[in-house]
Amino acid sequence: MAPEAEVPVVIHAWSAPRSLSTSLMYSFAQRDDTEVLDEPLYANFLRVTGVDRPYREELISKMEPDGNKVIKDVIFGPGEKRYRYCKV
């Protein structure tokens, strides 16, 4: 039986648009000890706000739209790496 995966240390990057946050995310992605999540709550944002985007339904069908599940299972869920960088 494999040992239970540990919850990684989560690093949240909340930023304003056009702030080079994607560049910072790619920098963290180069680290061997870090996994990166790019806007894990975006489907929840679209679902809750009803904001119209051309890709809205497709994105909601491919990402978990329940924000509580994303926080519990994705952002703070078990992981393979020591750190988890979340670009929000």
**Mean per-residue pLDDT over the chain, rounded:** 91
Q: Output the pLDDT for position 1.
A: 40
Residue 85 host element (H or E):
strand 83-87
Q: For 86, list phi and psi in degrees, rounded to 5.
A: -115, 115
Q: Is the pLDDT of residue 5 over 90?
A: no
Distance CA 84, CA 11 (A): 6
Residues 27, 30, 33, 34, Cα dihedral to 10°: 50
Once rounded to an integer, what is the mean pLDDT over residues 4-31? 88
Question: Tens digit of pLDDT for each residue in 48-63?
Answer: 999 999 999 999 999 9
Nearest CA among 70, 49, 46 for reference residue 58: 46
Percent of the chain having pLDDT more than 90?
80
Domain boundaries, the chain: 9-87
In the chain, which ranges are continuous DSSP H helix?
A: 21-29, 42-49, 56-62, 67-69
